[in-house]
A and B are shown apart, each in its own frame.
Chain A
C-alpha cells in the first residue's frame, strides 16, 4: 500500500514536471502552479521534487528576464516553499545555487514588486537554516545599499525578511562595517521608531533588534554611529530605552536591552550612562525573575553577565537589583543547559571584583553545590560556565579557605582538566587552579595527589600562550613555601630543558613566572642547597642566559633575585663565587641606572658578604678584588640611590677589614 501511494505520487506529478520544460508559457505557468500547490506543507513532496532535479529549471525560470513575469514569480514562490522544508532540502537548494541566484535576482528586481518580496522570503527561509550561506551575499556596497533601502521603504514583509537575512549574515567586523557604511543604522532606527503613540509591531522590531545587536557587537565604530543615528528627534539608544519598558512584549524588551548592552560594551555608552543604568540593567534583572519564561531568563542572565563583566559599579548595582541573586540561584536549578550556563556566567560576572558580593553569592544562595554539579554536567557549555563561576569566586581568599574546602571543588575541577577539555575550558580551569594552589589554600595537598604537577607541566608545553602562562603560574604558586619533595617533584617533572624553553618564551609574562618559580623553588636554606646540589649548572646557566640576554628590567630583576636566593644557601654561595662571569655582572648591575636592578644586585651582594658564615672573609676579599666594594661605595655616593643607602651601609659594614 505504501509503495503504491509513492508510485502514484510520482506518476501523477510526472506530467506537470514534464510541462515545466514546455515551450508554451501557459503550460509552464500551469505546471508551476500545480507544482507549488503540491509542495506546500509537505516535506515529503519537497524532498521528492528536489530529488527529481527540478531545482535548476526553477532557478532558470525565475532568473531569466525573457520569461513571463508570472512564471518568474511562481517559480520564486515555489523555491521559497522548498526552502521551508527539512534542513537537507535547504542544503540541497544551496548546493544547487539557489541562494546565489536569488541574490543576483535581487540586484535588479525593482524594490516594490511581488517578485522582490518572494525572493526575500525565499532567501530568509534559506538563511534561517544553519549554517546560513553567508558567502552568497558578498559585502558589496551596491548590494547592501539596496538591501538597506528595502529595509527602509519595502513592504512590511520585505522589510522583515531583509532585516532578518542581514541579522544572520552580519557575523564579523567586515560585515559590520560594510552594513554600517551602507546606512543600516538609519534603517534600523526607522524600524524601531514608534508610529505615533503606538509601539511598532513586534514582527518588525525583533529582526531589527537582532540586526542592531549583530552590528554593534564588539565594534566601537559601528556602536558610535548607532549612538548618533536619529529617527525623528530620537537617537537609537533613546528608541531602545522606550523598548525596554515593562509594558513591551518580553522578547522586544530583551532584544532592546541586549542592544544597549552591546553598545555599552563596545565603548559607545559609559557604565554610568542612564540608558545603561536605568535602561538595560533593570530590564535584564527583571527578565531574570521567577515569573519569566525560561528561555527569556536564560538569555537575560547571559546578557547581564556580559553587561556587568568588567565594571565594578554595574556589578554592585546588579547585585542589589530586583533580587537578582535569588533569581539567578533559581535559574541554576532550571533544567535547560542554556539557563544553567547563563546563570553561572552571570554569577561569575557579579563576583568578579567585589569580595562582598562573592560572599553573598556563596553564603546566602548556597551556590557551591550547584557549581560542583555544574562541573559534572553532560553539557560542555554548562561545565565551562560553572568553571568560570568557580574562577570568579576563587578570587576570594576567605572562600578558598572555607567553602571551597568544604565542597572539595578541586576534585571535579581536576577531573575536568584531566579529561582533555577544550582550550577555553582549559584556560579558565587552569586560571582557577592558580588560585586554588595559592599557599594558604588547603586544597593544595589533595590536588598534588591528583596529579596536578604533571597536568600543569603538560600545560606549559601548549602552543597557546595563555595556557603556558597559567601552567607555569600555577606551578609557581604551588612551589611557594612548599615542602622539598613537592619542589623536587616539580623540577623533576618540568625538566630543565622545558624550563630553558620557557625562559626563551615569546611572552614576557611566561618568563617572569618561570623565574618566579625558580625563586620559589630556591627558598629556605636547606632547599637551596639540596636543589643546587642537583641542578646547579642548569640554574646558573639559566640565570646567566637571562642576565646576558636582552630582557626587560623586571625579568633581569627576577634573575638577580634568584642569585640572591642562591647566595643565601650555605654551599650554593660557592657556586656563585666560583663563577667570575656572574660576579662581574653583579658589579655592572650595582652601577645600573635602573633602580630596581641596583636594589636586586645589592641584595645578592649583601647575601654573599654576610659575616659569621664560613668563608666569608675569602668571599669578601674576592668580591673586593672584582670591584664590588668600589661599586658599593659609588652607590652610596649616588643621590638617586638615596633610598638604598641603609642597605648599602649594612653591606659595607660587613667588609670591615678592607675599609
Chain B
C-alpha cells in the first residue's frame, strides 16, 4: 500500500508538470468540459492539405508545396530552384489549409487564438480564420461555404466566398494576427498586434475549427492557442461578456403569473431549513414570514438529532437511532447502510465513534461509549483525536452532541440502552463486554505480514501496532479487535451487495487507513476529516425524507442542480452564454 501511495505521488507530480501549460487554457475557458468537448491545442496532422508541413509540437505551419519530398524544397540548382519557387503559389490551386485538432467548444463563450507571421514567404498569400469539418483543404480559409478568413495580401475578409470585402490592414512578417469567436453573438473579430479590428463575420455556424491557409513557398506561421500569453487583452472582453450576461440574468423580465418572488423565495428558504433540520431557525422564519412549515416539528427534530450524531462522528449511534425511529429504512436501502457502516469504520479509526452493537451481531444490544482510536496513540502529537488515553470506561470524547433525550426513547422498550440518552445522563458504562465474533487474527500476530483474514488487503500490521502497547491495557487491545471484527463484518456485507467500483473503492480506502502508523498524515487521511461526514449525513437525511414520502432534495438545491444541468445542455446546444453564467457567483449574491 505504501508503495502504491508513493507511486501515485510521482504520478501526481508528473501531472503537475504537464498541467502547467494546460492551466492557462483552463483559466480562459473554465466552463468547458474537455471530456466531452476537447479544446483545440495544436494543428491537426491529419486534417490538412499535403502541401502543408507542421513542426514545433504541431504549432508551426509552413508551406512546402506539392511536387517533392515531405517538408523540403527539391534539391535543384539555384536557377531551377528559383523557377520552382516562381511557379509555386501562382494559382489558387496551390493554396493549402490546416485545421486545429478540435472544433471550438461553445462553452468557451469567447474563443481566441493568435497566429504570428514568422515569414510572409514569397507573396504573403496567407489566410487566417475558421472552417467547418470537411471543408476543402486545397483552399485558403474563406473561399468555400462554412469557411471564413482574413487574408494578409489585401487585408480583405472572405465570408464563404471567392471575393473578399475590404476589412482591415494587410499583414506580413512579424505581425501577430488574432482571431476571436464570440459564441454568444456568433460573431468573429480579428486583431492585429493587439489592436481590435472590429467584427468581420456575423451569424457563424457552430463547431468551427481554427484554420490557417498558405499559398506560396516560404510562408511560415506560428499558432498560439492560449498556451502562451496573448498580445491582445482578451481578459477585457471576457470581463465585459461576464458583466453583460450577469446583467441579462439580473434584468430578465418575469411574467406576472410567476412574479410573486417574495413568496417563492420564502418557501425556498423555509423548505431548505426544514430539509436540513434547522428546526428552530425554520420555526423562527415561519413566524416572521407566515410561511407554513409542512413537516411535523417532532419529525424535524428527529432528523436533526440523527444528523448531529453523524456530523459528530457518532455514526453507530446514528444508525441505531435511525433503525429505531424509521424501522425498515435501512433494511430497504442496503447501499445506504453500507455507506454508513463504512463511515462508522472510518470514525472508529478516528476515535470518534462509540461502536454499537447492532442486529447483525448476535445477542443483546449493549452500548459502548468507547473512544476506540487505537492508532492515535502512536501519533498523539498530530492527532486530532482525544488527548486522554482511551479507556474502556471513559465517556466518549468527540464533539458533544445536544443532550436532549429523544422523544421516542421512552416508548421504545426494546432499545433500553440508547446511546444518546445514556450520554445525556452521563451514566458510566459499566458494561464493556461486547458480543463479538471471535477475532480471527492471531492475538499474537506480531510478525505483521500475515493478511488479516476477512479483510482483504489489510495486513496484520495493525496487530503489530498493538503489541508494544499491550501493557497499556486490555481495553485498547479489545477495541482494536472490535474494529477488526467490525471490518470483517463490513467486508462480508460488501460481498452481499452488488459489486460496483464505487463500493469497492470506498471500502478499500477505509481499510487502507489501518496501514498507516499515523492515518491522519497518510495519503488517505482526507477520509478522517470531519467535513467528509456531511455527504453521509446528507444521504441519510435524504433517505429518511424519502422514506417519509417527502422530497429527497430541497427545492433550492434542486433549483441549483437544475440550473447546472441547464448550463450543460446550453453547452451541448452551442449556446455560448453558458460560459458566463457563473452559478456560484450568482448564489453568493
Contacts and interface: CB of A to CB of B under 8 A. Distances in A.
Contacts of A282: 195-196
Interface centre among B197, B199, B233, B236 (most CB of A within 10 A): B236
B242 A247 contact: yes
Contacts of B34: none
B534 interface: no
Contacts of B197: 320-323
A323 B198 contact: yes
A426 B522 CA distance: 87
Nearest to B246: A247
A246 interface: yes
Interface in A281-315: 282, 285-286, 289
A278 B192 CA distance: 12
Interface string B194-214: 111111000000000000000
A48 interface: no
Contacts of B243: 247
Nearest to B189: A322
B166 interface: yes
Contacts of B569: none
A136 interface: no
B169 A278 contact: no
Contacts of B194: 278
A317 B198 CA distance: 13
Nearest to B200: A323
Contacts of A498: none
Interface centre among A285, A323, A324, A364 (most CB of B within 10 A): A323
Contact of A245 (B166, B192, B198, B239): B239
Contact of B196 (A322, A326, A364): A322
B169 A246 contact: no
A21 to B, nearest CB: 52
Interface centre among A246, A278, A282, A285 (most CB of B within 10 A): A246
A326 B168 CA distance: 12
B535 interface: no
A320 B239 contact: no
A246 B240 contact: yes
B237 interface: yes
B566 to A, nearest CB: 24
For the side of the interface on B, what is the size category? 10 to 19
Contact of B166 (A286, A321, A322, A364): A364
A282 B169 CA distance: 16
A285 B168 CA distance: 14
A324 B168 CA distance: 11
B195 A246 contact: no
Interface in A265-288: 278, 282, 285-286
A196 to B, nearest CB: 15
Contacts of A320: 168-169, 192, 195, 197
Contacts of A317: 195
B478 to A, nearest CB: 57
A572 B506 CA distance: 117
A320 B198 CA distance: 9
Interface string A322-357: 111010000000000000000000000000000000
Contacts of B168: 320
Contacts of A289: 198
Contacts of B239: 245-247
A245 B195 contact: no
B199 A323 contact: yes
Nearest to A283: B236
A289 B197 CA distance: 12
A364 B166 CA distance: 9
Interface string B243-268: 10000000000000000000000000
Given A247-B242, A247-B243, A321 B237 contact: no
Interface string A360-400: 00001000000000000000000000000000000000000
Contacts of A245: 236, 239-240
A566 B242 CA distance: 77
Contacts of A321: 195-198
Interface in B24-60: none
Contacts of A278: 194-195, 233
A246 B236 contact: yes
Nearest to A279: B233
A367 to B, nearest CB: 15
A286 B237 contact: no
Contacts of A247: 236, 239-240, 242-243
Nearest to B242: A247
B545 to A, nearest CB: 39
Contacts of B237: 246
Interface string B219-240: 0000000000000010011011
A244 to B, nearest CB: 9
11 contacts: A246-B236, A247-B239, A278-B194, A278-B233, A285-B196, A320-B169, A320-B192, A321-B197, A322-B197, A323-B197, A324-B198
Given A321-B196, A323-B197, 14 more contacts: A245-B239, A245-B240, A246-B236, A246-B237, A246-B240, A247-B236, A247-B242, A247-B243, A282-B196, A320-B195, A321-B197, A323-B199, A326-B198, A364-B166
Leading 5 A-B pairs by shortest Cβ distance: A323-B198, A246-B240, A247-B239, A247-B243, A322-B198
